Amino acid sequence: MATLALYRGATALAVPAIVAFLAWRRLVGKEDAARIGERRGIASLPRPEGPVVWVHAASVGEAQSALALIERLTAILPAAHVLVTTGTVSSARLLAERLPERALHQFVPVDRRSWVRAFLAHWRPSLALWIESELWPNLVLETAARGIPMVLVNARMSERSFANWRRWPGIVGPLLERFRRVLAQSELDGSRYRSLGASDVVVTGSLKYDAATLPVDAHELAHLAAAIGHRPRWLAASTHAGEEGPVAEALDRLKALHPHLLTILVPRHPARGEEVRALLASHGLAVAQRSRGEPIAATTDVYLADTMGELGLFFGLAPIVFMGGSLIPHGGQNLLEPARFGCALFHGPHVANFRAIASELAAAGAAEEVRDGAALAAAVDRLIADEAMRMGRGAAAKRVAEAGRGVLDAVIASLEPELAPLEAPRETGIASA
């Protein structure tokens, strides 16, 4: 506990640095200026009446994983509201469009004790569900101190995080002891949490299997399909800095083999659109940029879809998909999202965040690992040339995605001890005297 005490003291003394950091984030667009008070624990919405189930998800990926759970909670707890907290502007935009009725969003307070206390005093959660792996010490300890039951849901622990936490047993052990239960994505995740100090660990699987298929604007899908026509096409999705270079290298090779090929590129962070455009142009590629409203022409090599919330649209257009975040040591992006559309899949070697899912897809013949631009070009070329292989891989991917459903039911069953006190009382049929 001495290490935790040092952490808590440091965050109490570091107010000027924290305030300056928030100001910098606001200047560069990483904070919502109109809602910056939420990061200090100052709520921008009133607390609704009745129970509040608090779901904390770090960013876009965790929030998307939690959406099906949030919808189920509002369905089975008609007297309750669900408060969802995240720490990024992009996740706030996503949730503004997709949260169900009786669910609301706030930015999570920065992990300073007084700000956390202000947040908890306002919202008074009846139950706290933490998604995946983000453990902020003050937030965990202050929540536990109020007697609020906490469960870590969809818990995962990458090899890197596990190695880091093992160096700080005086922090992670006391934090995990505060959770009533850890619902792990896999046996490996479960064993890592147990070794770090979690006492009650249940392996329920990944909620990503039960996430809804990404939404698609049917009108826009038809419009883009007409613009593309019969041209062969593929998609590089959710790419990060350091990955567009290998994609451009692949295109240098593919253009000679398939002169009419259209590549759709969706950067993970749309704000990088101009940077990515410049890189592609330096390779002599003709780019049409969606954020500028530029149409796909017969001469367009790359359609740069630097917009937010439209990934499902492009999975619906492209039968071949490379998922980014995997050629660099980021951990990969969610392979199940394109698998639900029946896309044939590629990814790089760095898929630690989705290791079990990547292994399942590989075993089913649905996904292939590529390590650089040359390998990516060769893999895309094979699937463009072999329609039977392409369709077989896509069908296998869809089967894997559908076969994994049912995790949400297991999670809800494991949460029943915490949810039961929040359920509305049932009618007894006995009239009062």
Residues recognised as catalytic: 62
Give CA–CA dist 226/242, Å, rounded.
32
Q: Are 281 and 287 in contact (CB under 8 A)?
A: yes
The pair phi, psi for residue 150, each rounded to 5°, is: -125, 140
Give CA–CA dist 305/309, Å, rounded.
11
Q: Are 31 and 22 in contact (CB under 8 A)?
A: yes
DSSP class of residue 400 equals: H
Residues ≥6 apart with Cβ < 8 Å to 164 = none
DSSP class of residue 129 equals: E
Q: Are 110 and 25 in contact (CB under 8 A)?
A: no
The SS3 of residue 390 is helix
Give CA–CA dist 391/393, Å, rounded.
5
Structure tokens at 297: 């022409």
Give CA–CA dist 199/151, Å, rounded.
12
Exposure class string for 388-400: b at 16+ Cβ within 10 A, else e: eebeebbebbbeb
In which element (H, E) is residue 162 found? Answer: helix 159-166
In which element (H, E) is residue 369 found? Answer: strand 367-369
DSSP class of residue 259 equals: T
